[in-house]
Chain A
Amino acid sequence: MATALTRKDFASDQEVRWCPGCGDYAILAAVQKAMPEFGIPPEKCVFISGIGCSSRFPYYMNTYGFHTIHGRAPAIASGLKISRPDLDVWVVTGDGDALSIGGNHLIHVLRRNVDLNILLFNNRIYGLTKGQYSPTSERGKITKSTPVGSIDFPFNPITVALGAHATFVARSIDVEQKHLGEMLKRAHAHRGASFLEILQNCNIFNDGAFNDLTDKAIKAEHQLVLEHGKPLIFGKNRDRGIRLNGLRPEVVTLGNGVTENDLLVHDETNLGLAFMLGNFEPPMPTPVGVFYCESRPAYDAEAAKQIEMVTAKQGKGDLNKLLRGGDTWTVN
């Protein structure tokens, strides 16, 4: 029997070249730690990326890898997975790559539900091109290309994915290694397109963008960890929760007659709830975890099934028959 895989089996010999302190290091570490647990040998794994800081990711994985062109990784990964369903295919992308230049491919790969694991590193800035605002940057952001503030309204990756009818939508944070590891596992276990947004700090061009969620002193007041079947509670003392007031969510403090029974219970299979949570913006807490998970046939499996079905019905293709399609005649 082969020896168990370790994280070393998934680390390539290439020097990692992100800026020191970049959140991408933490994500790489989490992925390299999670991969051996899936029990899939490195040669069966493929990492495909587009362009941007995050897209250097495949070079650092000792798997098959393809660093492609800006925004197109989902399309390239789709072609690979459809023709090679035996492979474990991952897409690594960023907020600019996936939501700006590659927005079209992202929504279509999600609605088709191709069995891919899509990791979107969201740092809300363009890093590789040195600091322009991205489609997830907040309005008013001062960057090199918006000296008096961005007037673009940002995309919310979670609701974009839900709007595209993705079958698995989750969010985690670069430094939350345990939570990130769990989300990677969930994403990998899901059959179909798994969409995982990872909030990632760019310490050069957008440092501290997620401080509220990562600063140990205050993060508990801002993070809302979603767990299926459990009430939506947060806060350092776990004394605050989300309650529905009519159709509107509100933050309540437990006590004074408010009990856990009054709180919303998370249900991953409820698309409406997922949308509601996906739209949480400060001062509401920021949800992390699985927003939505549904079982729907994966595109690649369906494509394979059609080929099997037609072959079973018509028999394996015979080239001589193919040539003679339509009427033929013989000249002597």
Chain B
Amino acid sequence: MQLVGTQFTSESALAGNDIATVPDFPAEIRAPAGTLAGVSSFQVNISSSEIFTAGDEPNVLVAMNPAALKANIGDLSPNAVIIADRESFTDANLKRAGYTSNPLTDHSLDKFQVFEVDVTKLTTLALQGTGLSNRQVVRCRNMFVLGLISWLYQRPIESTVSWLESRFKKTPEVLDANIRALKAGYNYGETTELFASGYKVPPAKIAPGVYRNITGNSATAIGFTVAAQKAGRPLFLGSYPITPASDILHELSGYKNYNVYTFQAEDEIAGVCSAIGAAFGGAIAITTTSGPGVNLKAEAIGLAVKVELPLVITDVQRAGPSTGMPTKPEQADLLMALFGRHGEAPLPIIAASTPADCFECAYEAVRIAVKYMTPVILLTDGALANGAEPWLLPDLSKLPPIKVEFATNPDGFMPYARDEETLSRPWAVPGTPGLMHRVGGLTGEHLTGNVSYSPSNHEMMIRLRARKIAGIAREMKPLEIFGDQEGGDIVVLGWGSTFGPIREAVKQTRAAGKKVSHIHLRYLNPLPKDLGEKLRRFKKAMVAEMNLGQLLKLVRADYLIDAIGCNKVQGRPFKVSELVSRISRALED
């Protein structure tokens, strides 16, 4: 189903629609088919106007079995279209999904428009004579369905055909079968008049330029690659596979001709440690993981803070604690990112707000790491990682420069001398004559870095590093307020992937005449200097986040603002409607 969803998204993007997707799948690779736990779904929102989320209530549901129907029916809009594979509604499958009677016949679906299609039978008929086994034929069912919904939404299927051609280059019989099934589905929609009519979704009016469809993990991988190339250094990724971050490792493994080294380490700790070693040697060093991995990397990140080497740790957040729900998003790692190390170990934290924004944030994380000689944590999450949207390709010449200047002059060289403005230390890499020096986890003396137990030196070094990180706020642009610049009744503050639902909810409530605004943070540490002042312009501030109030705590602690929490931890993004009603309630209180 993920494949059908991805291809339908691509077709829609090529048709010029604005798109937003939420793939949702079980952590198990082959979860028991037909059970609720095994349902793999892909929600896509296509629009002729600008959209920010994959939508609260789908208008069309394609259910390949009873479990898929049961798992998703609660979300559907009234009068939604349900396309169901009739043959899969067998007694056994109904029982497995927990149905006591068949919803296709017991009138429980009367408020929807139900279309029963014999997908398996029709696919089998279409593939007669191809000589494929039953098993192979059944595998083509998804292409039949893709063809059918492509017709329903008048999507051109040429791009899917060429995608199939490249995917099944080596197995022409499988290629032929998939194309046949795809076309059969499309033609079935056209000729059977099953649906009264198809939908037409004209292209959206969006900014001119060249676009592509991109997921957050792809954008992250490309952002790092571009950053390393701009810096003129090799990119080194040390990583251990973990859901939902592994795709970054996969993608970067294919970029070897961009001077990208990918090292699949023996564990999370070795992932970050190998990156620290590469940073010591002068590479743009990164590690990618999810929350459980950040736990394991904590000690090594502290080392990078202390020795002051550039490093980016990407945390593709997932629902925790512990193994939690690995494929579901959450934003509950913020306080860990800030405080999850022993000792005073501050570091910059950046959070991406949309799939495409992962590109800019990955790039920015590298820029800051190198400029300030510090590890940086980049927060994304499972929804961004696998969600997709159209990406207006950036003009590479307009990206801020990433300057790498290794120390070379032995005269008076001190490994912990500091730049007056940034307070960063020189990057002196092995191989440079005359600059031999030792770094390490033990407290080092100011300037020389030699081991020192001087109490006052220890405090000075802690304060210097804290000032260095706090100073990054200097270069941040003023925060944007979406809504009432001079203040209003309420401002919704968000960070990360809640951007879409918050922006949409604020737009809707504003359209209803309410004085609601939105501020969205990219920098979580240090926080922008103008945040407190801007929040105070509003009578109320509400912090919406997918945790129990982590940014809320920071806002209250840092600015003594009595902000309101709006929290959800269900492993699912906020629905726009949920936010709209929460905002309305807050306005009434």
Indicate, yes or no, whether A interacts with B: yes
Task: Give B248-277 interface residues, CB cut-off 8 Å to A.
Answer: 255-261, 263, 265-267, 269-270, 273-277
Partner of A82, one of B236, B299, B434: B236
Contact of B430 among A12, A87, A319, A330 (CB under 8 A): A87
B234 x A83 contact (CB < 8 A): yes
Work out how many contacts link A and B, with CB atoms closer than 8 A: 213
B3 close to chain A: CB less than 8 A? no
- A81-111 with Cβ < 8 A to chain B: 81-84, 86-87, 104-105, 108
Residues of A in contact, count (CB < 8 Å): 60
Known: A63-B436, A69-B300, A315-B257. A79 touches B274 (CB 8 A): yes
Determine whether the beta carbon of B266 is less than 8 Å from that of A324.
no
Shortest CB-to-CB span from A146 to chain B, Å, is: 27
> Is A104's CB under 8 angstroms from B211's CB?
no
B274/A317 in contact, CB under 8 A? no
Flag if A64 contacts B257 (CB, 8 Å): no
B273:A12 contact, CB within 8 angstroms = no
Query: A326 near B285 (CB under 8 angstroms)?
Result: no
Chain A residues whose C-beta falls within 8 Å of the C-beta of B13 in the assembled complex: 327, 329
- Cα A81 to Cα B433 with chains together (Å): 18
A317 to B229, Cβ gap below 8 A?
yes
| Interface presence of B207 (CB below 8 A) | yes
Q: Does A303 contact B (CB under 8 A)?
A: yes
**Is the CB of B557 closer than 8 A to any CB of chain A?**
no
Of B263, B300, B435, B440, most A-chain CB atoms within 10 Å:
B440
| Contact (A84, B300) CB under 8 Å given A64-B436, A68-B441, A306-B256 | no
A286 to B551, CA, bound (A): 61
Residue in A64, A83, A331 whose CB lies within 8 Å of B261? A83
Take A43-B436, A328-B212 as given contacts and tell me if A75 and B225 are in contact as well, using a CB distance cutoff of 8 Å: no
Residue A200 CB within 8 A of the other chain: no
- Report the bound CA distance from A48 to B260 in whole Å: 24
Query: Is B393 on the interface with A (CB-CB < 8 A)?
Result: yes
B554 close to chain A: CB less than 8 A: no
Q: Answer yes or no: B432 CB below 8 A from chain A CBs.
A: yes
Do B440 and A67 touch (CB < 8 A)? yes
- Shortest B47–chain A CB gap in Å is 14
* Chain A residues within an 8 Å CB radius of B300: 69, 72
Q: Which residues of B contact A82 (CB under 8 A)?
A: 236, 261, 263, 274, 278
The contact of A66 among B432, B434, B440, by CB within 8 Å, is: B440
Question: A69-B300, A323-B393 are known contacts. Are A307 and B261 too (CB-CB below 8 A)?
Answer: yes
**A314 close to chain B: CB less than 8 A:** yes
The chain B residue with its CB closest to the CB of A311 is B257
A76 within 8 A of B: yes
Does B460 sit at the interface, judged by CB under 8 A?
Answer: no
* Chain A contacts for B266, CB-based, 8 A: 75, 104-105, 108
Is A32 an interface residue when CB atoms closer than 8 A count as contact? no
> B495 near A: Cβ within 8 Å?
no
**Per a CB cutoff under 8 Å, which of A42, A76, A330 touches B436?**
A42
Are A72 and B438 neighbours in the complex by a CB distance under 8 Å? no
Give the A-binding residues of B (Cβ under 8 A). 10, 13-14, 16, 159, 203, 206-214, 222, 225-226, 229, 234, 236, 238, 255-261, 263, 265-267, 269-270, 273-283, 285, 299-300, 303, 307, 393-394, 396, 429-442, 450-451
Q: How far is the CA of A131 from the CA of B21 in the complex (A)?
A: 58
Q: Are B222 and A84 in contact (CB under 8 A)?
A: no
29 contacts between A and B (CB under 8 A): A14-B438, A14-B450, A43-B430, A43-B436, A59-B451, A65-B437, A65-B438, A67-B438, A67-B441, A69-B300, A69-B441, A72-B269, A72-B273, A75-B269, A76-B274, A76-B280, A80-B281, A83-B236, A83-B278, A84-B278, A84-B282, A105-B270, A303-B261, A310-B256, A317-B229, A327-B212, A329-B14, A330-B209, A332-B208
Report yes or no: A330 in contact with B210, Cβ–Cβ below 8 A. yes
Nearest Cβ on chain A to B278's Cβ, whole angstroms: 4
Find out whether the CB atom of B393 lies under 8 angstroms from the CB atom of A328: yes
Residues of A near B225 (CB, < 8 A) are 317, 319, 322
Other than the known A43-B435, A324-B210, what 5 A-B pairs have Cβ atoms closer than 8 Å?
A: A76-B280, A78-B274, A82-B236, A328-B212, A330-B211
A72 contact set on B, CB distance < 8 A: 269-270, 273, 300
User: What distance in Å separates the Cβ of B72 from its nearest Cβ neighbour in chain A?
Assistant: 28
Is A77 among interface residues, defined by CB-CB distance under 8 A? yes
Cα of A14 to Cα of B89 in the assembled complex, Å: 78
Q: Report B-chain residues with C-beta under 8 Å of the C-beta of A61.
A: 438
Chain B nearest CB, measured from A46 CB (Å)? 5
Q: Does A58 contact B (CB under 8 A)?
A: yes
Chain A residues with CB under 8 A of B10: 326-327
B440→A68 contact, CB < 8 A: yes
In the complex, are the beta carbons of B441 and A79 less than 8 A apart?
no
Shortest 5 CB-CB contacts between residues of A and residues of B? A67-B440, A79-B277, A79-B274, A317-B258, A75-B273
Write the A23-67 contact mask toward B (1 if CB under 8 angstroms, else 0).
000000000000000000111111010010000001101111111
A80 near B270 (CB under 8 angstroms)?
no
A325 at the interface (CB under 8 A from B): yes
Q: Does A316 contact B (CB under 8 A)?
A: yes
Chain B residues near A256 (CB, 8 Å)?
Answer: none
A162 CB, min distance to chain B CBs, angstroms: 19
Question: Shortest CB–CB separation between residue B297 and chain A, in angstroms?
Answer: 11
Q: Which of A14, A303, A326, A331 sits near B209, CB closer than 8 Å?
A: A331
A43 touches B431 (CB 8 A): yes
- Contact partners of A3 in chain B: CB under 8 A: none
A79 to B263, Cβ gap below 8 A? yes
B277 x A87 contact (CB < 8 A): no
Check if B393 sits within 8 Å of A75, measured CB to CB.
Answer: no
Bound Cα distance from A69 to B302, whole angstroms: 10
- Contact A84:B431 (CB < 8 A) given known A14-B450, A327-B13: yes
Closest to B211 in A: A329
Query: For A261, what are the chain B residues with a Cβ–Cβ distance below 8 Å?
Result: none
Q: In angstroms, how far is the closest chain A Cβ from the Cβ of B366?
A: 14
User: A58 CA to B299 CA in the complex, in Å?
Assistant: 20
Does A78 lie within 8 Å of B270, measured CB to CB? yes
Contact between B277 and A76, CB atoms less than 8 A apart: yes
Name the residue on B nearest A42 (C-beta): B436
Shortest CB distance A116–B (Å): 11
